[in-house]
Structure 1
Amino acid sequence: MKKTLILTLFLGGMLMAADTQTITRNGELGSFKGDSKIFSGEVKVSTLFKSTSWREFGGGLVEFSKNARSAWHTHPAGQTLIVTDGEILTKIPGQAASIAKKGDVISCPPNIRHFHGATDTSHGSHIALTQEKNGQNVNWEELVSDEEYAKALKEAKK
């Protein structure tokens, strides 16, 4: 009887926790400077929230200074970017580059090679929403060269 009561209280508490709204405070999950192996220029990444048992994706705020950008990469489960400030340049090989502005949403399907970052005339920030597939949310490749970046800027500004 005592064990049943304890188990009932424990399970009830677990169910209640799943039904409770939470607030993650700004900065609570930390931030870091973008690693030079996967970013060019000054980049700050702040974790906003992590995936949970009921939310299969995490979110982060990525802030790029002028000319800063990610390396080429893919996402095994895709990615959604919500531009929050400035301009974000994005490029997929074989397609013209584009510039997204505050309020725009960039939707990248799974396993599409791309990069994104600020333009040469503006900083840029976006919220990145990604989920994991087989424990991985991104596959990093080589840095975007200055020549590739300049070509993408030219394409996007046509």
Structure 2
Amino acid sequence: MRRIFLYLSLPVWVVYGACNDGNQNRNIVHKELGLSLVFPTGDLITNDNFTGTAYLYSLVEGDSINGNSVGNVTFEPGARSKWHLHPAGQILLAIDGVGYYQEKGKTKVILRKGVAIKCPPNILHWHGASIDSPFVQIAITGREKGPTQWFDTVSEGEYNSAPTH
């Protein structure tokens, strides 16, 4: 398992060294939220697949050689994705703050710095920040079997359900 984690995280750190542009204006959100800065905050996500405020900094776009896309996502407190699935699965790496991850029909899981989640292919799930803390994650998403499929908004009841510690 450690070998797999190291294998998957190495490209992230290589990309960081190559892509860190030092643009401090893009990093203000991290500072305002009291988060450690690994990657720039990125751009505000303006589509309707998220509730609340979230930002995406794209690190790697999937292509014909490697179908994985890698992105740094920063969620402000209370922000989260809609229910969705990935035909080729997804790996989430918790970088900072406190977040949640939940698969449909299962108990919500708390995500803290250093936690890795492996979401199997075609499993309906959501993820985002806790109600009182921002959250930063690296999302590694397989694209070779098709794009992310988006579903319903996470209800307040689902979001506020008791998590597994």
Give TM-score, length-normalised by structure 2: 0.72
Work out the CA distance in 1 between the residues paired with 2:60 and 2:18.
Answer: 7
What corresponds to 1:55 in structure 2? 66
- Whether 1:138 and 2:138 are equivalent positions in the alignment is no
Once the two structures are TM-superposed, the CA of residue 107 in structure 1 deviates from its matched residue by 0.5
Tell me the amino acid that sits aligned with residue 164 of structure 2.
Answer: A
Once the two structures are TM-superposed, the CA of residue 142 in structure 1 deviates from its matched residue by 1.4
Work out the CA distance in 1 between the residues paired with 2:63 and 2:144.
Answer: 14
What corresponds to 1:74 in structure 2? 85
Give TM-score, length-normalised by structure 1: 0.75
After superposition, the C-alpha distances for 1:75-112 in whole angstroms (9 at most, x for unaligned) are: 00000001110112011122111101111101100000
Identity of aligned residues (%): 33
Question: Could you tell me which of 137, 160, 165 is aligned with 1:150?
Answer: 160
Q: Unaligned 5+ residue runs, structure 2?
A: 1-13, 24-40
Work out the CA distance in 1 between the residues paired with 2:127 and 2:69.
Answer: 18
After superposition, the C-alpha distances for 1:36-77 in whole angstroms (9 at most, x for unaligned) are: 511011100110112244433110000001111000000000
- Whether 1:107 and 2:139 are equivalent positions in the alignment is no
Secondary structure of the residue aligned to 1:148 is helix
Once the two structures are TM-superposed, the CA of residue 131 in structure 1 deviates from its matched residue by 1.4
Tell me the amino acid that sits aligned with residue 140 of structure 1.
Answer: W
What corresponds to 2:27 in structure 1? none
Work out the CA distance in 2 between the residues paired with 1:52 and 1:40.
Answer: 29
Work out the CA distance in 1 between the residues paired with 2:105 and 2:62.
Answer: 33
Work out the CA distance in 1 between the residues paired with 2:64 and 2:85.
Answer: 24
Q: Is the 8 A contact 1:71 1:140 kept in 2?
A: yes
Tell me the amino acid that sits aligned with residue 156 of structure 1.
Answer: T
Once the two structures are TM-superposed, the CA of residue 25 in structure 1 deviates from its matched residue by 1.3
Give the total of aligned pairs: 133
- Whether 1:45 and 2:56 are equivalent positions in the alignment is yes
After superposition, the C-alpha distances for 1:127-150 in whole angstroms (9 at most, x for unaligned) are: 00011134x331111111222211
